[in-house]
Structure 1
Amino acid sequence: MSKDYRSFFGLSGPAFNKQIPAEAIYRYPHLEELHYYLAAAVADGAVAVVTGPVGAGKSTALRAFLTNLDPLRYVVIYVGYTSSDRALFREVAHGLGLSPSYLKGDLLNQLHGAIEHAWLGKQRSTLLVVDDAHLLADSLLTELRQMLNFQMDSATPLGLLLVGQPTLAARLKESQHEALSQRTLIRYTLAGLSRSETSEYGRAHMLAVDGDPDVFTAEAVDLAFQQAKGIPREIGNLCVYALIRAAWQEVRSVDRKVMGEVIQAQKGP
């Protein structure tokens, strides 16, 4: 029986892992552009909205950006999907190191006080990052917009970053969210990889686990790119499956034949 694919290819860990170290992430042009715009929004304490299809790499791009923020200047609070405003605000409170108040009004006052204290006392801005924001109820989006209101003329102690699927951008165009839309400085759609970027993406992930960056032939990359339409997660899934299949067949290179077999297997009978 063939070896485990990681042993067969001499990898130090699982290939194309979403927990790839931030410094090893392939920084393709769209990713660098996104980070540039996000840096501007964060510096101004503004609202930024990042959208993209499932698997486009939004969370990975976000992690790479947040890793580089100066912790002496920014308090970063990351919140995933939640169905209630109280649950969301409690998560924010925990992120600020607070024991959340029970009543919603008291809780909001508590959050505002802590955010203002971080700004006035330590010159640290707070950045609230809400992932899967396309799932938030309309009332929650309104609550988030209201949370941005501070009684401070020149300061912007709280920035907001909303990340989600394309439906988020469409929802923010609705009249009920006009106030939030007007406060949004950056709107960015994360696109898929190009053919050449797909090749470099694969190389970066293989190098991250001490593998051969040239294990995928050009023809195999062509097939993966065409099948996945440039979506990083789909490309990664195809490449891992191809590595597993190649290890089973005891071949040291993933060529057009191996990748083609993987694609056909995924399509099913």
Structure 2
Amino acid sequence: MDYISRYGMDFNPFIKNSKEIVVETSDYKEVVCRLNYLLNNKGFGILTGGPGRGKTTIIRNWCNSLNSSLYKVIYTSLSTLTVAEFYKNLAMQLGLEPMARKIDNFKIIQNEINRYTVEKRITPIIIIDEANYISNGILNDLKMLFNFDMDSRDRAIVLLVGLSQLNNTMRLVANEPLRQRITMNYNLDNLSKTESKEYIMAKLNGAKCGSNIFDETALEAIANASNGIPRIINKICDSSLMIGNTKNLNTINSDIIMLAVNEIELG
């Protein structure tokens, strides 16, 4: 028997599907609120959090909600580039022909951002993912690159997304000029035990599951073993569905969760 039909789901909500189920936790709502504040005020924003906390998922869904006639989203995770390569990459993302020299790329990028904001009335949103790997050289240049009209206005939004150590980098004396320009800074925490259980139930509801697949002992075990990290919750739930189906169980308990946790750790 197929595990999806056994557990009465339209699809497995714990793996990447064409249909994404967005679980609006308190942190999710807070991040969206902060991002909208950044949208209105422009400038620089920072979003940090440990691996698997859902940073990229939140950013992706927020970007999808924006009016494309008012905002141009440029996303890059190529944060281990040199300064020169970063400029060339950003120029290409803006649809420009990259120049050989950094100073020339600097000029054409600024001109293009000005063209978007002044002529087209479109605000560029530059999202740099995995920004904890970004070099101090690029961070130093960011403030200059997005300095318009003698620093009297912000023409674009720059969002740095990465692991929590990004904040340590920003505290360095060398990055003080950029840090003073930060409009929004938020760190994603782990889900609480209650939120972890609500997260699982919301995922199941999104997959049109009408029964209680996981009993209370299972939910408690998942919350404890995952430490409230969404990516780990998904992996445990996915593995436990497979194991439960193999054992012909219609309800999953903590014993199955422990088997799933062991399987993930061995994998």
Scaled by the length of structure 1, the TM-score of the pair is 0.90
| Unpaired segments ≥5 residues, structure 2 | none
Instruction: Report the equivalent of 1:29.
Output: 26
Contact 1:34 1:188 (C-alpha < 8 Å) held by counterparts: yes
- The answer as to 2:96 corresponding to 1:98 is yes
Equivalenced residue count is 265
Q: Distance in 2 between matches of 1:138 and 1:65?
A: 28
Q: Trace 1:239-258 onto structure 2 (pairs within 5 A).
A: 239-258=237-256
Contact 2:15 2:238 (C-alpha < 8 Å) held by counterparts: no
Instruction: Report the equivalent of 2:167.
Output: 169
Q: Distance in 2 between matches of 1:103 and 1:144?
A: 17
Letter in 1 for 2:97: S
Contact 2:191 2:228 (C-alpha < 8 Å) held by counterparts: yes
Q: Distance in 2 between matches of 1:77 and 1:217?
A: 43
Instruction: Report the equivalent of 2:234.
Output: 236
Deviates more, 1:99-108 or 1:188-197: 99-108
Instruction: Report the equivalent of 2:119.
Output: 121
**How much is the aligned-residue C-alpha RMSD, in angstroms?**
2.1
Contact 1:204 1:213 (C-alpha < 8 Å) held by counterparts: no
Contact 2:110 2:146 (C-alpha < 8 Å) held by counterparts: no
Letter in 2 for 1:262: A
Instruction: Report the equivalent of 1:53.
Output: 50
Q: Tell me, what secondary structure is at the counterpart of 1:156? A: coil
Q: Distance in 2 between matches of 1:20 and 1:197?
A: 24
Seen in structure 2, the aligned counterparts of structure 1 residues 131 and 19 have a Cα distance that, compared at 3 Å, is: farther
Contact 2:213 2:250 (C-alpha < 8 Å) held by counterparts: yes
Q: Distance in 2 between matches of 1:266 and 1:59?
A: 23
Instruction: Report the equivalent of 1:134.
Output: 132
Q: Distance in 1 between matches of 2:170 and 2:150?
A: 26
Contact 1:51 1:58 (C-alpha < 8 Å) held by counterparts: yes
Q: Distance in 2 between matches of 1:93 and 1:188?
A: 28
Post-superposition CA distance 1:173-227 (Å, at most 9, x none): 0101001110001110101112222122112323334444632222211111111
Post-superposition CA distance 1:60-107 (Å, at most 9, x none): 111121111121111110010332223322332233222222322111
Letter in 2 for 1:191: D
Letter in 1 for 2:40: A
Q: Distance in 2 between matches of 1:43 and 1:7?
A: 46
Percent identity between matched residues is 24
| Unpaired segments ≥5 residues, structure 1 | none
Instruction: Report the equivalent of 2:182.
Output: 184
Q: Tell me, what secondary structure is at the counterpart of 2:190? A: coil
Scaled by the length of structure 2, the TM-score of the pair is 0.91
Seen in structure 2, the aligned counterparts of structure 1 residues 95 and 81 have a Cα distance that, compared at 3 Å, is: closer
Seen in structure 2, the aligned counterparts of structure 1 residues 51 and 18 have a Cα distance that, compared at 3 Å, is: farther
